[in-house]
Each structure stands twice: as structure tokens, then as C-alpha cells.
Amino acid sequence: MSAKFQPFTTEYEFDTGKLNPEGRVIVRKLSHMKEMYLDQKAVEERVEEDPLIYEVYNVELPETMAHIQHCTTILYPGKIGNEYFMTKGHYHEILDRAEIYFCLKGKGQLIMQTKEGDFKKLEMVPGTIAYVAPEWAHRTVNTGDEPFIFFAAYPGDAGHDYGGIETEGFVKLSVEENGEQKLIDNPRYQKV
């Protein structure tokens, strides 16, 4: 056998959204993303309990453009104040790299923006394949009552830039008002 990178399989568990083997697991609790929620009083009230917001199961691969990174995300249902549980969101370190999200369970939103201030929201239910076009920062939001689970694939060399979007903030926030989901302007958003 040659010294080439070998093919292999990973099993996706339809019930839980987890991978087997688990790969590199990222666990994000409220304490890891306190500053991202608008209602800081609600954050303070919940941070001791420190709810689990989301988990990512990553197949481990070299970070070169020959490869396709892939992972599943389990985003739990809940709110901090009236803002839905969400992922941190990021640009790709190599900005010009796309990503695919394939929703397998639950429901939610994919919110995206560019450095120029464009904003876009896509609704996701099982079977929705959402295309994060190159140059768009992306965050998912669980607007349902059960875990929102999706499979993602992106170019091997894309990388993650969390700092850029942390500085800007997202243009809009997804909140519940009078029992209904709404997007509101983020008063802390600032174009860099």
C-alpha cells in the first residue's frame, strides 16, 4: 500500500446528531460566549447554571485545500433573555471560502453578513441545504423546541476567524417577542 491518505468512514447517529468516532469535540456553554448576548442582566442570572448552548463534532483532517472538513453541530433549544440560543458565528480565516449546512433535525435560522454590512437570513428545517457563499460570516440560531442539528462541510484550508465578527457584532439579533420570532437591529453592531 502506498503512503497516501487513506479513505475512512464516520457514523452519523440520526437520533443524537453525534459522530462515531466523536472526533474533536467543541462544547460551548454560556460562560464561553457571555458577551454575545444583548441582555447582560439575563446573562448574569444564568451564568452560574451555565447552560450548554451547542456542541460540534469534527472529523479531524489536515487543513489544506485538498481536504474537505466536515462536522455536525447540535444547537440546543433555549433563550438568554429573549434571544435564542445561537452559535458564536465566524468568518472564514481565508475569507473567500464557502460552506454547506445540511439540516437533519429541528429547526432554526442561518444568519449571515459581509464585512460591507450586507445581511441575509435563511430558514432551515430537515432537508434544507443552506449555502454559505464565500465572504459571508455565519451563525445559526435555534428557533424551535428541540435540538437543531445540521451537518456542515467546508474547504480544508478555510479556517475560522471568530475575532472579526466579535468586534463587529451581528447586524441583527434573533429574539422572541410576544411568542413570535423576530429579527431586531443589534444596537451594538459596528461596521469595522
Site of interaction with a copy of itself (CB under 8 A): 1-2, 4-14, 19, 59, 61, 65-68, 70, 96-100, 102, 110, 112, 114, 116, 118, 120, 122-124, 126-136, 151, 153-156
Q: Residue 23: left if φ>0, alpha if ψ -120 to 50, beta else—which one?
A: left
The three three-digit cell numbers of residue 85, written as one number: 440560543
How many Cα atoms are found within 13 Å in the side-chain-facing hemisphere of 149? 15
Contact 72/19 with Cβ under 8 angstroms? yes
Nearer to a copy of itself, 40 or 131 (CB): 131
Nearest to 141 by CA among 178, 98, 184: 184
Nearer to a copy of itself, 79 or 107 (CB): 107
Residue 55 binding Mn ion, by CB under 5 A: no
Q: What is the CA radius of gyration of the chain?
A: 17
Give the residue with the Cβ less far from a copy of itself, 79 or 139: 139
Q: Does 168 bind Mn ion (CB under 5 A)?
A: no
Site string for Mn ion, 84-113 (x = CB under 5 A): ---------------x--------------
Q: Cis ω on the peptide bond leading into residue 21 (within 30° of 0)?
A: yes
Q: Which lies closer to a copy of itself via its Cβ, residue 50 or residue 131?
A: 131
Regarding 130 and contact with Mn ion (CB under 5 A), the answer is: no
- Residues at the interface with Mn ion (CB under 5 A): 99
